Chain A
Amino acid sequence: MQQQGIQVIPLLAVIFLVILTIVLGFYIRKSVRGTADMYVASRAVSVSMNSAAISGEYLSAASFMGVAGMIMKTGYDNIWYPVGYATGYLFLLLFIAGPLRRFGAYTIPDFAEGRYDSPAFRKVAVILVLCIGLFYTMPQMKGAGTALVNILNTPYWVGVLVVGAVITFNVALGGMKGITFVQAVQYWIKMMAISVPVLIMFIYLGGYGANLDMFHNDNENGSRLPVFRSDYSATYKPDPPLNDITFGTTIKGIFQQDTLVRITPSRRVPKDSDTIVSQQLMLSRLPDETREVVLPAGGKAIAHLFKKGSEFETGKPITVTKNGETVMVIDPVTRDKIPLEVSAKFTVTPAGPEQATIITYKAGQPVPNAPTDKTWIEPYGTLTSQYGHPVLYTYSLIIAIVCGTAGLPHILVRFYTNPDGKTAKKTTFWVMILLGCFYIFPPIFGVMGRAWVPELYAVAGGARSTDSVVLVLPRLLNNYIPHFGDLLSAITSMGAFAGFMTTFSGLLVSLTSALAHDVYGTMINPKATPSQKVSAFRVFAIISGSTAIMLGMYVENFDINMMVGWAFAIGAASYFPMLIVSTWWRKCTAIGAGVGMLVGGGSALVAIVTTMLADKEVIPSLGVWFSAHPVVRTLCEQPAIWAVPFSLILIYVVSKITHRHIPKNSGWKMLVLHAPEELNLKNRNYIEEDEVIII
Chain B
Amino acid sequence: MSREEKKLDLYSEEYVNRIMSSQFRLSVRLFFVFILVLLGLPVLNLAIPRIMNLRVAGFTLTWFFLAVLIYPVTWLISWIYVRSSINLEREAVSWTDPEDN
A-side interface residues toward B, CB under 8 Å? 76, 79-80, 82-83, 86-87, 89-91, 93-95, 98, 207-213, 217, 333-334, 377-380, 391, 394-395, 398, 402, 421-422, 425-426, 428-429, 432-433, 436-437, 439-440, 443, 584, 667-668, 670-671, 674-676, 678-679, 681
Contacts and interface: CB of A to CB of B under 8 A. Distances in A.
Contacts of A671: 10-11, 15-16, 19
Nearest to B54: A217
13 contacts: A83-B66, A213-B57, A213-B58, A379-B49, A394-B42, A398-B39, A433-B75, A674-B16, A675-B92, A676-B92, A676-B93, A678-B89, A679-B96
A641 to B, nearest CB: 11
Nearest to A670: B16
A411 to B, nearest CB: 16
A440 B68 CA distance: 6
Contacts, number: 139
Nearest to A215: B58
Contacts of B38: 83, 87, 398, 402
B87 to A, nearest CB: 11
Contact of B74 (A90, A426, A440): A90
A377 B63 contact: yes
A79 to B, nearest CB: 5
Contacts of B53: 217, 377-378
A209 B68 CA distance: 12
Contact of B75 (A79, A432, A681): A432
Given A209-B58, A212-B58, A670-B16, A675 B10 contact: yes
Q: Which of B15, B55, B78, B79 has the most CB of A within 10 A?
A: B78
A584 B78 CA distance: 19
A83 B73 CA distance: 12
Contacts of A422: 86, 89
Given A378-B53, A380-B45, A426-B82, A674 B63 contact: no
A126 B46 CA distance: 43
Given A333-B46, A432-B78, A94 B30 contact: yes
B10 A93 contact: no
Contacts of B10: 671, 675, 679, 681
B1 interface: no
A439 B82 contact: no
A674 B19 contact: yes
A426 B85 CA distance: 11
A667 B16 contact: yes
Interface in B28-44: 30-31, 34, 38-39, 42
Given A379-B62, A395-B39, A668 B11 contact: yes
Contacts of B63: 76, 79, 212, 377
A13 B13 CA distance: 59
A676 B89 CA distance: 6
Given A379-B52, A379-B62, A421-B89, 10 more contacts: A207-B58, A217-B53, A217-B55, A377-B63, A391-B42, A425-B82, A425-B85, A429-B75, A440-B68, A674-B16
Contact of A79 (B16, B19, B30, B67): B67
Contacts of B66: 76, 79-80, 83
B92 A209 contact: no
B77 interface: yes
Interface residues on B, range: 35 or more
B78 A429 contact: yes
Given A87-B70, A90-B34, A379-B62, A429 B13 contact: no
B50 to A, nearest CB: 10
Contacts of B58: 207-213
A177 B70 CA distance: 33
Nearest to A436: B71
A76 B65 CA distance: 11
Contacts of A395: 39, 42
A113 to B, nearest CB: 21
Nearest to B31: A94
B20 A670 contact: yes
A32 B78 CA distance: 34
Nearest to A439: B71
Contacts of B59: 208-209, 212
Nearest to A377: B60
A316 to B, nearest CB: 26
Contact of B23 (A379, A398, A440, A674): A674
A432 B75 CA distance: 7
B81 to A, nearest CB: 6
Contacts of A398: 38-39, 42
Contacts of A380: 45-46
A208 B31 CA distance: 31
Given A377-B60, A440-B68, A676-B92, A94 B27 contact: yes
A479 B100 CA distance: 73
B60 A378 contact: yes
A378 B49 contact: yes
Contact of A334 (B13, B49, B82): B49
Contacts of B42: 379, 391, 394-395, 398
A212 to B, nearest CB: 4
Nearest to B23: A674
Q: Which of B11, B30, B74, B93 has the most CB of A within 10 A?
A: B74
A426 B78 CA distance: 9
A363 B16 CA distance: 71
Contacts of A679: 10, 93, 96
B77 A90 contact: yes
Contacts of A678: 89, 93
A209 B82 CA distance: 34
Nearest to A206: B58
A86 B74 contact: yes
Contacts of B46: 333, 379-380, 391
Contacts of B93: 676, 678-679
A640 to B, nearest CB: 13
Q: What are the 3 closest A-B residue pairs judged by CB atoms, nearest first?
A: A209-B58, A436-B71, A213-B58
B24 A440 contact: no
A463 B61 CA distance: 34
A440 B34 CA distance: 19
B11 to A, nearest CB: 7
Contacts of A429: 75, 78-79, 82
A670 B20 CA distance: 8
A209 B57 CA distance: 6
A94 B53 CA distance: 32
A68 B10 CA distance: 51
B97 to A, nearest CB: 10
A126 B43 CA distance: 40
A405 to B, nearest CB: 12
A80 B75 CA distance: 17
